[in-house]
Structure 1
Amino acid sequence: MTKGFDRKQKKAGDLILSEDWNAAMDEIDSLGKTLQDIKQKATSFQGPLTIEDALKVKGNVGIGTDNNPTAKLEVKGNLKLELGEAVNEFSRDGTLGGNSNQAVPTELAVKTYVDQKVQGVEDSARESFETKKLQVSETLTVEGATQLNGSLKLGQGVEVAQFSETINQSRKSSLIVVPTEQAIITYIRSTLTKFGLVGEIFDLGNGVILEIQPIKAGSFLMGSPDNESGRDADEGPQHQVNVPAFWMGKYQVTQQQWQAVASYKQVDRSLKAEPSHFKGESRPVERVNWYEAREFCARLNQKFKGQLKG
């Protein structure tokens, strides 16, 4: 034990030994003043450092070294920078539930909080979007269905109240209705069919097709009137003939079409696949009689389930 102290630089782990209590306290007080002015006395401090009151640093504080980059600074109390609020913790809470000015959230906590808020807004927007006026300067993309309780106006055009799956000429309304693509196709087809202007294309197999046209039902007078000049006896009596609707080929039956139908299941009689003298797939079939022609139509009727009438 000594009564005094050698006023040399102390390092971590040095003991202060004295038989005089007051002398030891003076040395501790001296060390405390040194720590308060640490900027002037030292540029670094190695080893554990515990400050029970306050430490004021004018400048930067560096924690850790290249050899020990994971060193930590633990503050039991508040940490206050020269400007701003004093903080007492760094928080991992991604909900920011503390609502405190003394807690600083980590980067992950901030990201978690923002992501949750954005997800909530996106979910809400998917469920319902209601506004009095929406103006989009470039492109608006909607994934899913959009329901408008009102009319739709594009550019300088008219306001559209409804998109319709049908075209109804008897519709009496001041509202502007726009038919869909399928509605237009259906309407045109039904109109042309009504006037017998729509044909059908049947696939006979192996790339061979047959175009046919519907002929509407009708009636006509057969025979010559009794008072007609030069009338022969076998031209009467004059009478009305009713003809049911039927299908007629748009063009002469080709040898290729005949050969395709000749391969179908027989109805009443057999058919030669190549009866023509002048050969050629696209040439008209020839050298067939009335009964063979009826068999040709009968096989078409059987193949296409009565759509054709022979």
Structure 2
Amino acid sequence: MTNTTDSAQLPELREQAQQTVDRFVRRFDESYRLLAYHAALPLVLTPELVNYLRNEFLRGEKVPWVAEVDLLLSDLCSPVGYELYAMDTHVRGYLLEEMAKNPRFGKRRMAEVARVLINYVSYLGRLNPGVRQEELEAQRWAAMVYLGDEKCKEVVREIANKLLEISSGNSGENRSESEIRAELARLIRITEELSPQLQEEPSLLEYARLMERILRTPAAVNPSELLPTYLVDDVELNFPTRVLRELLQRKVLFSQETVTQVEGYPPLQTFDFEVATIEFDTETTQTEINPQFDLNPFQFKVATIELKQTGWLRRKTKLIINYHQQEALSFTEELDNEIQLEMVAIPGGSFMMGSPENELERRNSESPQHRVTIKPFFMGKYSVTQAQWQAVAFLPQVNRELNSDPSYFKGADRPVESVSWYDAVEFCSRLSIKTGQPYRLPSEAEWEYACRAGTTTPFHFGETITTKLANYNGNYTYGKGFKGEYRQETTPVGSFGVANEFGLYDMHGNVWEWCGDEWHDNYEGAPIDGSVWGENNENDHHSRLLRGGSCCEYPGFCRSVFRGNYIPSDRDLNTLGFRLVCGVAWTL
């Protein structure tokens, strides 16, 4: 649970967590739920620890040993290091809440698990002194909060003292700024994970959540919020000079009307400065537009795939998914009272379009590689959904009628499909008239640039792809990857919970996405400015570009560079969808 979660979202997040757990149990056996309960208490899981918990508490419950592997590789957990796994925050919270209410286990069993976990952590520390003490410390705290008020207060006291040492620079260690930030972030993350058990310590939670905002989005912090001192079990926590310095470096102005002096710091001064504005025009619409978009930062998870050689003589390959957090800017377009469209700000830049000669499954249509320069634009965070399609389909017609429910695989949050190129263009026209902004299909160059998001590998994940991160035909593999699930249908947008570095979801697989360009056999004579290649005439019948692959395609078809095409008037494929671009002048 993080401070970015609005309280109004909590019931929805709890329901999603419940559905994730129920889906996991239905896939295997009800006994798996018992293992999930017990595995929810530690903050970090290892195969050895899950095995230890099963043998210690579930010997008579007929939980098979393979459940340990199934749990760690399921949607309930994510890899956070080599043979280290963390359970999703909301799933973990749901499981602990349910275990506490379970008449067979309840808080008594949770306390038993906690005591065993503390002994286990102590044993690991003696057995292997090289184990990172921070990991053992976090595990011990996670267990102690279930052993009564006194132990819980001890945890609060230790966390508060750690925060004080790090933020004040009195830890006795010569840490760099980045190391200090990393340690603060670690302590804050642990505090948030344990927040359901620390509700009796609101000062610590408030301090941690404000410190997280400072680390993530310092420009959004009001200086007046830094004035109070937070008293946590006789430990006074405030915000050190280094925090104020970073705020100033990021051009957060302290208004003298609001704050004239912060105790212990030099008087605050005002200063003049220039603001840089980034603008770009809309060549495709020949219209000068300067909207005042309300750009807001959002956080998301990015996944990269690592192939590691293991086993005797390194003959086996292990696929490891690494995750990290990223941040981008977006604005929201209201389509009606309940349906919204999220558009992500894509920065301008240049890249090599097409595939290198050594890329696996390369096609001649992906050559020659050529450098393209792209202006900034906005792109849909997701493919257009069926709910969004329906909202726009009921708007006044521009050139052609639209079927309000064309999709074969039904679901409001699934991508709309079975739509022709002409249908997608009509959608853009109606939306542009409603909003006053130039919505359109992306150029092929914009699409590839946005999909790559700075990467040069076949997928923005890396050298291969997995059905744990994308929806495609998992009966086939790419490179050194492995077979996976073949769902044979679309999935709701954003289902895999990971985006690329720009903050765009589902760029590989799920549905093909129409681009504005006409089909050309290769890149000979292609524009190098990111513009649409072709006349873009709705009256011709030239094949139009498709990108991204689909839920039914080979993984090689889902590569960032793969080029598909189809007749613009046909809508008989249930894998044809699209993603929007908004090309306007915008400022930061």
TM-score scaled by structure 2? 0.20
TM-score scaled by structure 1? 0.35
Greater Rg, structure 1 or structure 2?
1
Bigger share in helix: 2
More RCO (CA 8 Å, sep 6+): 2
